[in-house]
A and B are shown apart, each in its own frame.
Chain A
Amino acid sequence: MSMITPEVREKVDKVQSFALIAGVIGLLVTGGLIAVQPKETLQSYLISFLYFFSFSLGSLALLMIQHVAGGVWGFAMRRLLEAGARCLLLLAILFLPILLLGLKEIYVWADHEIAQKDHIIELKSGYLNVPFFTARYFIFFGIWSFLALALSKLSKQEDETAEARIGFWFKALSGPGIMAFAITGGLASVDWAMSVDVHWYSTMYPVLFCFGTILSAMIFHIVAMILLYQGPDLEKHLTKNHLRDVGSFFLGFIIFWAYLTFSQYLLIWAANLKEEVPYFLNRSEGGWQLVAISLGLGHFLLPFLVLLTRDAKRIKGNLLKVACFMLFMRFVDYFFLLGPSFSPKHFAFPIGQLTSLVGIGGLWLGCFLWQWKSMPPIPVRDPRILQQPIHGV
């Protein structure tokens, strides 16, 4: 007996094949564009990559957090998180175009001639050089893939044997795993995103990046739960109180995102140092300031006010609308993270941005749905299945 109803399964199959086809076409068009305008297209490709990467890395982080912290919210979401985390293997492959074609187009420090003339880059070259960058790519994805696959394998064993010691192994792996996530995620943010502005640095950046992945994943899985958990077997794991819990997480995470983003801005604004301010000067002119304002309103103020109300968190349709809107705003956030570094003081949205978004997004979504179907959608041997509230005591 399958918990997924035939109608949902049919729709998922359809969406999956459509996404995979769109993904392949998108990547082929992007490949063509790389031949025509390599710089803009590869830069856009990096932004699209980071956007979808955030869903997978965030899934892994949330998966480990819920293993350590417990809670019924994590129980219902667990199989979605595992599927999202396993897509990290696909993303490791999708990073290859950047590694093989794009280093010199995207990162100034990867170009020897420029690097030798620039004293600051020369001083940083002990860390920022192509062989070490490549080695770190293997280390990061090695650690993440190991964690994702090991936790999924334990999950499978739990389904088959229901042994209590597996619960211990989940925790034993997740505790150190969270530390590894914080360190590797932070370093990856420096490698892939912050080193684009090679002279600039911010200590808030890795925190913001790591947390951004968790926020992305939480929003994505709220959408996924609402759309996929249909039929009697799955709906009972998505009650109104359950929705309110994930909705509260959603609200809290948005506030924390605003807190981190604003702290970074306030400190740099207040210090007013000439090494630090160019980052925000590039983002405050030529159209970028409108993107910044739309982030403040759309990524914080609007969802904050809407999610304060109880009905926005407890009613499926309402929460779904807010979450879908926020998925779009997450992209705007990633676009604003790097777009102005590639095109300072002048707004630009290259065509490659759209095609790479479709390409990577299609493949990622197809892979995610395929992985989700490969396991039962609810971990029925998880002891938390018994934690239903008892009414009237």
Chain B
Amino acid sequence: MEAQKPEIYGMLAEFTTPTEIVAAANKAREAGFSKMEAYSPFPVEDLYEAVGFKRTKLPILVFFGGLAGFFTAFSLQTFTMGGAPSFLNPFLPDWFYYPLNIGGRPLNSWPAFVPPEFELAVLFSAFTAVFGMLLLNGYPRLYHPLFNVPRFSGVTTDRFFLCIEARDPLFDIQGTRHFLEGLKPFEVSEVPQ
């Protein structure tokens, strides 16, 4: 079922100013390309919209991360104080129950449980935000085909790159190269896989 991997990763156009790359990305999007990515040495406003950046699933993940943290702290405190539902009893070890009498307060003292619930909700959502962001961005990743283009190292100093990837349905080597050259870039290069 696996499709034959294309020989090349995509077609890379190099620009020298942020204004040019925003205009180029807009034109590429209007021409119907959807699988493209822009690379710049610093954040460029409007570039997100220009490359057709879709909203990520990260906020939803973070929400459920926070919820998981909340319920972890809630269950830990309630269950150790003896509040576990009875159908769980066969599965819980003896040492799991550790009811504490604190100044004669009831075992199920929900107000006292709130601060740890809040803390864990914040901790878990922060972890989800950081690690989820890395995973959704495709990290950890040690190699990227773009490194095959020597001129791409300029992206860390003063060059802006627009790459139309080979997995784009409209991609064909001659046509895309021709299209990118029409955008008046500094240079267009093929990116080998």
Mark A residues whose CB is within 8 Å of B.
262, 265-266, 269-270, 272, 308, 310, 389-393
Contact = CB atoms under 8 A, between A and B. Distances in A.
Most B-side CB within 10 Å, residue of A265, A270, A272, A390: A270
A393 B19 contact: yes
Contacts of A270: 111-112
Interface residues of B, number: 15
A265 B111 contact: yes
Given A272-B103, A308-B63, A391 B46 contact: yes
B96 to A, nearest CB: 25
Contacts of A393: 18-19, 44-45
Nearest to B23: A392
A308 B45 CA distance: 24
Contacts of B111: 262, 265-266, 269-270
Nearest to A271: B103
A188 B45 CA distance: 47
Contacts of A308: 59, 63
Contact of A266 (B22, B103, B105, B112): B112
B118 to A, nearest CB: 9
A244 to B, nearest CB: 13
Nearest to B112: A270
Interface of B: 18-19, 22, 44-46, 55, 59, 63, 103, 105, 111-112, 114-115
A266 B115 CA distance: 9
A389 B45 contact: yes
19 contacts: A262-B114, A266-B111, A266-B112, A266-B114, A266-B115, A270-B112, A272-B105, A308-B59, A310-B55, A310-B59, A391-B45, A392-B18, A392-B19, A392-B22, A392-B44, A392-B45, A393-B18, A393-B44, A393-B45
A242 to B, nearest CB: 15
Contacts of B44: 392-393
Given A269-B111, A308-B59, A392-B44, 9 more contacts: A266-B111, A266-B114, A270-B112, A272-B103, A310-B59, A389-B45, A392-B18, A393-B18, A393-B44
Contacts of B114: 262, 266
A272 B112 CA distance: 13
Most B-side CB within 10 Å, residue of A269, A270, A310, A393: A393
B166 to A, nearest CB: 28
A290 to B, nearest CB: 18
A252 to B, nearest CB: 14
A130 to B, nearest CB: 38
A316 B152 CA distance: 43
Contacts of A262: 111, 114
A270 B104 CA distance: 11
Nearest to B45: A391
B100 to A, nearest CB: 14
A269 B22 CA distance: 58
A390 B18 CA distance: 12
Contacts of A265: 111
A390 B19 CA distance: 11
Nearest to A269: B111
A202 to B, nearest CB: 16
B113 to A, nearest CB: 10
B63 A392 contact: no
Contacts of A310: 55, 59
Contacts of B22: 392
Most B-side CB within 10 Å, residue of A389, A390, A391: A391
B57 to A, nearest CB: 13
A269 B114 CA distance: 13
